[in-house]
Amino acid sequence: MELVDDQTAVVTGAASGNGRAIARTFAENGADVVVADIQEEPRMEGRPTHELINSETDSRATYVNCDVSEKSDLQNVMATADEFGGIDILVNNAGILNIVDFFEEDDEYQQQMSINVDAVFYASQIAGMKMVENGGGSIVNISSVDAYFGDGRFVGYCTSKGAVKTMTYALADALAPDVRVNAIHPGPIETAQTTYDADLIGTEAEQERVKTIPVGRIGAPQDIANASLFLASDLADFVNATSLLVDGGQSNTHSH
């Protein structure tokens, strides 16, 4: 069963990491995908996401250069989705994490708010209007467990992800009943995008971190992709304004 067959999905930050896995998983489940990212090549290695989709699945994909902090770029991405029949699914995945001393955080704070918060607002506004006009859709916002827990290493990041969590609830109300809006809060994920996690891979520090995760492993981008697919599909037709922790149980157990 292809869960998002004949739908069009826009995934921001889809060249690498979680976004790349999300885009590929949607395509494998029948969706055409607009890969929106500030760069075409993945951060690690391999072919660009849209090329992989076009060669390995029956779905169509295209890449659109997109700086999500630029509203005009977001409008261009949504217009590209119209060429595939109109947007049905939006995954606001693009994000940035700056690790900086709180007393020195300045431009880094503004950058994180622009990319992690403002972009989610405007992308959802543009896509949401199209979805309402087209009869419905689903928006999935990729937040973080740091929306729940403060971390002094990155105050601005925690602030931005907390804003995404609350915005998700407000968007779900604003766009009801046509569009469902939910948030995913990843825990530690093995991806080069999150520097402080990537630096731990294969180290003793990673082994110590694993001990705090009840399922016994660090997360993978595919874990976030699977959760995104569920929330975007009709399997989650009665799931709205929900925060889904995808962290192996770390946040809500004594292991945290």
Question: Is residue 147 over pLDDT 50?
Answer: yes
Average pLDDT, the chain: 94
Question: Is residue 13 over pLDDT 90?
Answer: yes
Quickly state the pLDDT bin for 207 (edges 50, 70, 90): confident
The answer to whether position 251 is within a domain reads: no
**What pLDDT score does 203 carry?**
74
The answer to whether position 105 is within a domain reads: yes
The answer to whether position 252 is within a domain reads: no
CATH of the domain at 143: 3.40.50.720
The answer to whether position 225 is within a domain reads: yes
The answer to whether position 201 is within a domain reads: no
Quickly state the pLDDT bin for 135 (edges 50, 70, 90): very high
Question: Is residue 41 over pLDDT 90?
Answer: yes
Higher pLDDT, 200 or 184: 184
**What pLDDT score does 6 carry?**
97
The answer to whether position 256 is within a domain reads: no
The count of structural domains within the chain is 1
The answer to whether position 162 is within a domain reads: yes
Catalytic residue (one of 63, 109, 157, 169): 157
Question: Is residue 198 over pLDDT 70?
Answer: no
Over range 218-233, report the average pLDDT.
97
pLDDT tens, residue by residue, 64-82: 999 999 999 999 999 999 9
The answer to whether position 209 is within a domain reads: no
- Looking at the chain, the whole-number percentage of residues with pLDDT higher than 90 is 89
**What pLDDT score does 82 carry?**
97
**What pLDDT score does 196 carry?**
45
**What pLDDT score does 195 carry?**
43
Question: Is residue 197 over pLDDT 90?
Answer: no
Over range 176-195, report the average pLDDT.
86
**What pLDDT score does 115 carry?**
98
169 is catalytic: no
For the whole model, what pTM was predicted? Answer: 0.95
Please state, as a whole number, how many other Cβ atoms lie within 10 Å of the Cβ of residue 255.
Answer: 12
State the residue range of the domain holding 229. Answer: 8-190+220-246
